[in-house]
Amino acid sequence: MKYTFSTHFLERLEERNISIEDVAALVYGEVDTIIVPSKTDEEIYLRLGFIRGKGLAVIVNRVTGVLVTVRRMRTNEERLF
């Protein structure tokens, strides 16, 4: 799938000091990931993975292919690994 970036996503990359290369490694399967469906929106899923020791969560719209936002993994998400 080809992904596109929301403005919000790009703002959060900069704000949270996360590189686009790390996100690309996560979404294109260069590292082990877990896909978790959203609890509130069936069009959204979270792709979770570790990049260079950092747990990242990329929120993706499965219908449009838009990367909605990115953040560090929460403790309960890290436990899934």
The 10s digit of each residue's pLDDT in 11-60 is 999 999 999 999 999 999 899 999 999 999 999 999 999 999 999 999 99
- Residue 29: which residues within 8 A CB-CB, separation 6 or more? none
How high is the pLDDT of residue 1?
Answer: 82
Q: Is 80 domain-assigned?
A: no
How high is the pLDDT of residue 24?
Answer: 95
Q: Is 21 domain-assigned?
A: yes
**Amino acid of residue 5:** F
pTM: 0.92
How high is the pLDDT of residue 18?
Answer: 97
Please state the domain count of the chain.
Answer: 1
Which 3 state secondary structure label does DSSP give 73? coil
Q: Is 72 domain-assigned?
A: no
Q: Is 77 domain-assigned?
A: no
CB atoms within 10 A of CB 33: 20
